[in-house]
């Protein structure tokens, strides 16, 4: 980068050096992991783009306790050799790619249609909630 003082001095001395263009004044967004990425790294559960869209469109909000329960249920499926599991957390259903620890889609009790799930090899019921205090975390990203 050119020193602005040298540029001004160069113009006075006739060296023909042009001043550097000023940096853009628009603010750039801070680059870093998104909230969802941070949560995924802490919880060990990823949410596919499709699953994130379904959570948002179906207005499904998960708190940290429910995400922990989902993660524990995925652990159970993995220990038993599950590959594609239906994980039930209370009234919420998640189709999960167990190997990748990725939620493929999410449904609430109103979105289950006929209640038939295909192309899964296991069903896991998450352990009951341990405490009554919940802190809401928005998974929408």
DSSP string for 59-110: T--EEHHHHHHHHHHHHHHHHTT-SEEEEEETTEEEEEETTTTEEEEEE-TT
> Has residue 25 been placed in a domain?
no
Classify residue 23: in a domain, yes or no.
Answer: no
5 in any annotated domain: no
Name the DSSP class of 140: T
Residue range of the domain that includes 51: 35-137
Tell whether 50 is covered by a domain: yes
pLDDT classification of 6: cutoffs 50, 70, 90: very low
Q: Is residue 17 part of a domain?
A: no
Does a structural domain hold residue 3? no
How far apart, in whole angstroms, are the C-alpha atoms of residue 2 and residue 7? 7
Task: Give residue-wise pLDDT tens across range 27-86.
Answer: 455 565 555 555 555 568 999 999 999 999 999 999 999 999 999 999 999 999 999 999
Q: Does some domain include residue 2?
A: no
Q: Please indicate, yes or no, if residue 129 is contained in any of the structural domains.
A: yes
The model's pLDDT over 8-37, given as tens digits with 9 standing for 90+, comes to 434 444 555 554 544 544 445 556 555 555
Number of domains in the chain: 1
Listed ranges 99-103, 129-133, 136-140; the one with the highest mean pLDDT: 99-103
CA angle 116, 118, 141 (to 5 degrees): 90
Residues 124, 86 contacting (CB under 8 angstroms) = yes
């Amino acid at each position: 980068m050119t020193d602005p003082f040298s540029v001004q001095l160069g113009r006075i001395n006739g060296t023909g050096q042009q001043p550097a263009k000023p940096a853009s004044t628009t603010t750039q967004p801070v680059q870093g992991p998104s909230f969802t990425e941070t949560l995924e790294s802490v919880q060990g559960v990823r949410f596919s783009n499709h699953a994130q869209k379904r959570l948002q469109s179906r207005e499904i909000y998960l708190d940290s306790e429910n995400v922990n329960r989902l993660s524990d249920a995925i652990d159970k499926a993995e220990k038993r050799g599950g590959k594609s599991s239906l994980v039930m957390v209370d009234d919420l259903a998640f189709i999960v790619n167990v190997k990748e620890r990725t939620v493929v889609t999410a449904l609430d009790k109103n979105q289950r249609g006929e209640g038939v799930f295909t192309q899964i090899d296991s069903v896991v019921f998450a352990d009951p909630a341990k405490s009554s205090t919940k802190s809401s975390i928005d998974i929408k990203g």
